[in-house]
């Protein structure tokens, strides 16, 4: 059956899903039918993860059990710590995360993906252990010992504690939790699709998540948040925004953190992140990057608004993480530790009616070419 070729599969449905929905014209994002603004204001990352995985909000006891399961599985085996110690300090943390997640699959028997009980525990382990792996890499690469998770602390408090060994600031932990909710899921994006392609072969969930992490790393996807902060630092002050953007567009370079395949208005996550930024600044002092970002948004609307290019989720997230004192190359791993909930929700959904992904191609090469012996080939 002939089909139109859609580069980047733009507009081509790759699955039926009830995990989340985007209205790109009106700037609406819902997880299981609930608006993200509502979840950010009223929910927590773990409750949102439960909602994504099981398609409903948990009852009190269910959330308590889920939270306890996650809390009990935060520790990582000393061999995973040893593996992290062997990784180069100057490598990218996304590569460390990908390597450690792939290695986790060698420790836990998650091979039978028909076993729903086992799949639940795989999901719990992945959500629980990603922050521990990241914090371990952050510390080990600067020569410090890794810190064992603290069961008394919440998901985000514990992550901040494992990074710094200090008592976590509740305002930062709350802000991070809201950021994780915003990054937890986003329909059929590149990393989710990558994971589902891997999952369609009935590969184990650690392999699925490791492949999604690889896709998330690229600068056109999750990697954009790092580049936004680098760009804002490079610009330096609001007065330099216009000439910088004009030169960039002249050179046919993209403005990082701007534009989206689906949103034709400002990404609703960028709006919530901007509010989080302002709240954080009121509590912890402002950031010079924010004034530059506001000017980039204003001038970009003038220069790119015609093409319906507005801030996406990555535009303000980097500023929040920068203010929290996190290393720039840790911004995308934080995205990953949230998005793992969405990846796993899609994985659960796909397993119910799995079909191997095997798309078609449009062959544009030649046929019936002669094999020329090496001695007779043109140099």
Residues at the site binding ligand ACO, with contacts judged by CB under 6 A = 8, 220-222, 224, 254-261, 304, 307, 309, 312-314
Residue nearest to ligand ACO (CB): 259
- Smallest gap from Cβ 236 to ligand ACO, in A, equals 20
- Smallest gap from Cβ 259 to ligand ACO, in A, equals 2
Longest distance between any two alpha carbons in the chain, whole Å: 76
Nearer to ligand ACO, 221 or 279 (CB): 221
- Smallest gap from Cβ 55 to ligand ACO, in A, equals 23
Two tokens at 353? Answer: 């009616």
Nearer to ligand ACO, 157 or 322 (CB): 322
Catalytic positions are: 260, 314
Bridge partners of 34, per DSSP, are 31
User: Among 136, 290, 222, which Cα is nearest to 298's?
Assistant: 290
Rounded to whole angstroms, how far apart are CA atoms 313 and 269?
A: 5
Nearer to ligand ACO, 22 or 76 (CB): 22
Q: Quick one: CA dihedral 197, 203, 204, 209, positive or negative?
A: negative
**9, burial (CB in 10 Å: exposed 0-12, middle 13-18, buried 19+):** middle
Nearer to ligand ACO, 138 or 313 (CB): 313
Rounded to whole angstroms, how far apart are CA atoms 360 and 3?
A: 9
- Smallest gap from Cβ 261 to ligand ACO, in A, equals 4
Question: How much is the CA Rg of the chain, to the nearest whole Å?
Answer: 22
Rounded to whole angstroms, how far apart are CA atoms 213 and 216?
A: 5
Nearer to ligand ACO, 184 or 255 (CB): 255
Nearer to ligand ACO, 25 or 145 (CB): 25
- Smallest gap from Cβ 279 to ligand ACO, in A, equals 22
Q: Looking up tokens 């094999």, which residue turns up?
A: 371
Nearer to ligand ACO, 296 or 324 (CB): 296
- Smallest gap from Cβ 267 to ligand ACO, in A, equals 7
Q: Looking up tokens 């504690």, which residue turns up?
A: 161
Q: How far is CA 355 from the centre of its chain?
A: 25
């Amino acid at each position: 059956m002939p089909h139109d070729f859609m580069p980047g599969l733009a507009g081509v449905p790759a699955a039926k899903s009830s995990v989340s929905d985007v209205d790109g014209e009106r700037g609406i994002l819902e997880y299981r039918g609930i608006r993200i603004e509502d979840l950010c204001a009223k929910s927590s990352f773990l409750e949102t993860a439960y909602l994504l995985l099981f398609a409903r909000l948990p009852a009190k006891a269910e959330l308590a059990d889920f939270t306890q399961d996650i809390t009990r599985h935060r520790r990582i085996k000393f061999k995973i710590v040893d593996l992290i110690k062997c990784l180069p300090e100057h490598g990218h943390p996304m590569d460390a995360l990908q390597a450690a997640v792939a290695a986790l699959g060698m420790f836990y028997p998650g091979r039978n993906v028909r076993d729903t009980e086992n799949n639940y525990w795989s999901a719990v382990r992945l959500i629980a252990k990603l922050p521990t792996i990241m914090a371990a890499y952050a510390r080990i690469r600067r020569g410090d010992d890794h810190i064992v998770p603290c069961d008394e602390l919440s998901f985000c408090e514990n992550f901040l504690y494992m990074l710094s060994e200090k008592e976590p600031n509740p305002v930062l932990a709350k802000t991070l939790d809201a950021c994780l909710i915003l990054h937890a899921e986003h329909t059929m994006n590149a990393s989710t699709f990558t994971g589902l392609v891997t999952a369609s072969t009935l590969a184990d969930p650690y392999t699925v998540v490791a492949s999604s992490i690889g896709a998330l790393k690229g600068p056109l996807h999750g990697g954009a948040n790092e580049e936004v902060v680098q760009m804002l630092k490079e610009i330096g002050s609001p007065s330099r925004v216009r000439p910088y953007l004009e030169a960039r567009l002249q050179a046919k370079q993209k403005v990082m953190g701007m534009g989206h395949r689906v949103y034709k208005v400002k990404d609703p996550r960028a709006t919530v992140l901007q509010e989080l930024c302002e709240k954080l600044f009121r509590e912890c002092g402002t950031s010079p990057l924010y004034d530059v970002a506001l000017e980039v948004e204003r001038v970009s609307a003038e220069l790119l608004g015609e093409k319906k290019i507005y801030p996406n989720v990555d535009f303000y997230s980097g500023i929040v993480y920068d203010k929290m004192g996190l290393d720039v190359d840790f911004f995308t791993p934080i995205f990953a530790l949230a998005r793992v909930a969405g990846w796993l929700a899609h994985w659960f959904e796909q397993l119910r009616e799995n079909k191997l992904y095997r798309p078609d191609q449009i062959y544009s090469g030649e046929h019936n070419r002669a094999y020329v012996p090496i001695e007779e080939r043109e140099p």
